[in-house]
Structure 1
């Protein structure tokens, strides 16, 4: 089906995937390619909703896409205006995304778990003129828009509420569907999507991905065929969810969708029911699947490829899951939102090592030390990535946009790793303070900035505690110096953070009260020492 391979230039100390010329002209839009694929596959079933059994063919999605685009044009929405989206994987999500792209309107995808602080932060930057959201999100979204003075119209999935309209209103016949042509775009310089990417402040950054970069990334991720059945619980707020939507459409596969919350039992039943051949999971899903009694009797014979992303998968988990896949294997995936796709994939997964695999087509990586010098084989350093089309940067954040590139226009990932002599990439650490919990990034500084506002807290340092099961990444933990006279409790701190931030920021590593924090002469907290002592206290609690 596909294969990844890495070559190494000893002189340049540069690792590269296969050098494949971009398939699409840089000025073509994502919409043009998707409409062509939808027309090509015609009556074949493109999507099945496990929620209600609704099946949509490629033809039906294409017609809904065209009608939605034309009806949005009737409402006088114009190219380059930003549309916002807060939604699960429901049956009408795909045509709404495609229709927005048809108009040259970048989609700003927001997380359904975002709190008010995060939503306002994103909307303030991207200033959407139209919002699409699940009906359950309407009240919160309306509150945020009113606070910002943004008069964007809201269209809702799952009915209507307040002054919203159901998205179905956009699927009304126009009588000139056959005449539709997508808006022309500057493929290399105009954003197709604006996805969430956490940054040094902890609040989501708005990563702009161009049409050219997105198409190149989807083509680079050449997984899936006409006969495949694809399952991914990933939401389109992240690049992973968009990748599966676009790749599945491009290759003519059938996608299985659901708005239900992931559980081992749900995934296993869907795989059996629809004979899923390709699935994508977060690493912590694998741990929970392995603990499920249903796995022992589940028929996973249809599953050929099970991709795992978000954090490193321990060998024991990969091997354990492989024992249940009679016709398939588990494959590690490594990538980042800013490159719109995967940089490496452990396929065919025969290395037997804790590696993220060989490089994808068109990917170039250098490893640099703290002085910026290029490293050789087996030498750890920061992983720096370059693709065919440059990342557009972060909306409203020029400093972060500039800082992510080095002088050679490589994206600095913030990950520490190395290559072995066979071209396998290993990710071993994080250079920055930011860490990941279950694939989602957590910023200590943002949680600290919030907690320090409390009159009961004098000093605070947030660190990541390695998950003892080696699955979830790091567990956020807070080390606190109480203010004089304060008796603030662990539960109060836990509730404060849980009520203000998204799920990944919850202090699952615990809250620890101390008399003082170790600091440098310049009054900076020594995080390394705090982390070391907190890990010891965490382990003592566990024991």
Structure 2
């Protein structure tokens, strides 16, 4: 409820949930800390499963995970000769490791092993090109890269581009192999020549073990632990400094609103164990994205239930895994629901175990929810589809629609989580933030708001007010019952299937083309794919028919990750609309896009 009768932008809203206790300690201690009670790890029995690899069926119990993490932490602090000394190269304090890998059973070992050592971890998109990776590697000052075997050539190319020689390259890469965990051959083993001379993750296990993790008690919990990279409206992606306290706070404030979890083994009529768990979470959210890193990797671990790991989304494999492992909660993004609305795999496999599908990373429309739920109901599954809202800068979740209200409030992003405050700011510094009645830019304050942007004080100052309000850039409305709905975005960021695509970055790439004089990029809605698609408006440097939309798309595609491709098409224009100050008037381009239709790779005006 509002705390004062102030102007609409000054009203401070709080959560309908009571505030919860927020401990100050390491993330590792919070989830996998040892107990005075024998056989208890992080508050739950040590033998409970923590992670299950969907393809191989291999699993890690809580005690196995803790042991492996402490062994990796020991090797990070006492590296083998192949990794140290680093020829006098200064290593920042605390050191930072970069994880460059799709989801695997090795991920929680790598991430939490780094945390146990007191290190920072920066999480890189496994689709990055060497150029994109170079920015994150240098900006984060990472000293070691844990790379999935097929991605090692990208890492080698990146390090060479920075002027690093072959011998030193071998000291900076650890191959994130997985066979030692799964017992199965690598799905993508990588080229042997690229892996020659490199240390493997498996070689860092069993060399010793820390007695306990680096603890970060009290004020030390405000130390940065994760550096996920968030794309802003200008410049290159920025490193978000997320602290131990940010994450442990998020894990605790999620609990009142997230679907309740049944913890422990499933038992038969005579009390015998028929399955090692009752509830399990499942999804293909990439662990390098904070949504996957928290909701799929760390939240279930903090609650004593297992997470089933699958590297990437394939409808057949996804539905097969649901049938095999019987998870009760699936974490998804809207494009997955688009597939579920039509794909025959939904009818081919038994998906009746799913009780909740939780969507995030992009807005979820009511029509899509209704279509998917109707299809599941036709096959006897009463699954509830709900969603939440958050950002990398807020660790991430701030709003969540509880399962019990999902049907009657479909399309909203739910309530504000406990211990958080919100404002809806419709005017800032004399500038209107939105023309939508009753709406305002959502500002969030609370223990999950990031420390700031790494090496970027000006960006931090522009995003966080002196009294702690983070400006999300998203425009929301709030109804009388406290439900929030995101209705627009003040920032210019494009969201393609949950991934961030900064227009400024694509514009910079376009302007490298010798035949392009000016360019602007916007996101255009695709109802078929339930996402935004990047579209470029391009001014030719000179009249030249050799520069075609397809040629521009191919030029960009060779320089960016898959999710940044110009899937929305390319439009040639005489001039890019700009303000007197030179700012691109994207709103004018978005209005223009409403009158255009894409035919293959060609964008034409609607008739």
TM-score with structure 1 length normalisation?
0.91
The offset of 1:183, in angstroms, is: 4.9
Is 1:403 aligned to residue 462 of structure 2? yes
Residues 188-234 of structure 1, C-alpha deviations (whole Å, 9 max, x = no match): 43111111211123532211110011100111122444231111211
The offset of 1:390, in angstroms, is: 4.4
Question: What SS does the aligned partner of 1:385 have?
Answer: strand
Match of 1:491 among 550, 555, 558: 550
Residue 207 (structure 1) aligns with: 240
The offset of 1:372, in angstroms, is: 5.8
Question: What SS does the aligned partner of 1:462 have?
Answer: strand
Residue 3 (structure 1) aligns with: none
Q: What is the distance in 2 between the residues matched to 1:20 and 1:341?
A: 20
Q: What is the distance in 2 between the residues matched to 1:188 and 1:245?
A: 20
Residue 70 (structure 1) aligns with: 74
Is 1:250 aligned to residue 302 of structure 2? yes
| Residues 1:124 and 1:181: Cα distance change in structure 2 (over 3 Å) | closer
Q: What is the distance in 2 between the residues matched to 1:404 and 1:521?
A: 24
**Does the 8 Å contact 1:230/1:279 carry over to 2?**
yes
Question: What SS does the aligned partner of 1:484 have?
Answer: coil
Number of residue pairs the alignment of both structures matches = 531
Is 1:29 aligned to residue 26 of structure 2? yes
Q: What is the distance in 2 between the residues matched to 1:124 and 1:107?
A: 13
Q: What is the distance in 1 between the residues matched to 2:353 and 2:579?
A: 57
Deviates more, 1:50-59 or 1:127-136: 50-59
- Give runs of aligned pairs for residues 33-112 of structure 1, distance below 5 A: 33-36=30-33, 37=41, 40-75=44-79, 80-112=94-126
Q: What is the distance in 1 between the residues matched to 2:584 and 2:246?
A: 40
Residue 342 (structure 1) aligns with: 397
Is 1:514 aligned to residue 528 of structure 2? no
Residue 4 (structure 1) aligns with: none
Residue 254 (structure 2) aligns with: 221
- Give runs of aligned pairs for residues 282-361 of structure 1, distance below 5 A: 282-323=333-374, 324=376, 326-347=381-402, 348=404, 349-361=406-418
Question: What SS does the aligned partner of 1:320 have?
Answer: helix
The offset of 1:469, in angstroms, is: 3.1
**Does the 8 Å contact 1:29/1:184 carry over to 2?**
yes
Residues 237-289 of structure 1, C-alpha deviations (whole Å, 9 max, x = no match): 11112112111111111111122x30222221111111110111111110011
Q: What is the distance in 2 between the residues matched to 1:542 and 1:44?
A: 58
**Does the 8 Å contact 1:39/1:58 carry over to 2?**
no
| Residues 1:116 and 1:367: Cα distance change in structure 2 (over 3 Å) | same
**Does the 8 Å contact 1:444/1:462 carry over to 2?**
yes
**Does the 8 Å contact 2:20/2:418 carry over to 1?**
no
| Residues 1:526 and 1:193: Cα distance change in structure 2 (over 3 Å) | closer
**Does the 8 Å contact 1:265/1:294 carry over to 2?**
yes
Q: What is the distance in 2 between the residues matched to 1:110 and 1:537?
A: 35
**Does the 8 Å contact 1:419/1:426 carry over to 2?**
yes
The offset of 1:312, in angstroms, is: 1.5
Question: What SS does the aligned partner of 1:231 have?
Answer: strand
**Does the 8 Å contact 2:413/2:484 carry over to 1?**
yes
Structure 2 gaps, min length 5: 34-40, 85-90, 178-188, 264-277, 599-603
Q: What is the distance in 1 between the residues matched to 2:454 and 2:549?
A: 37
Residue 268 (structure 2) aligns with: none
Residue 315 (structure 2) aligns with: 264
**Does the 8 Å contact 1:311/1:439 carry over to 2?**
yes
Match of 2:13 among 15, 27, 32: 15
| Residues 1:371 and 1:114: Cα distance change in structure 2 (over 3 Å) | same
The offset of 1:355, in angstroms, is: 0.8
Residue 291 (structure 2) aligns with: 240
Deviates more, 1:281-290 or 1:297-306: 297-306
The offset of 1:147, in angstroms, is: 2.7
**Does the 8 Å contact 1:79/1:104 carry over to 2?**
no
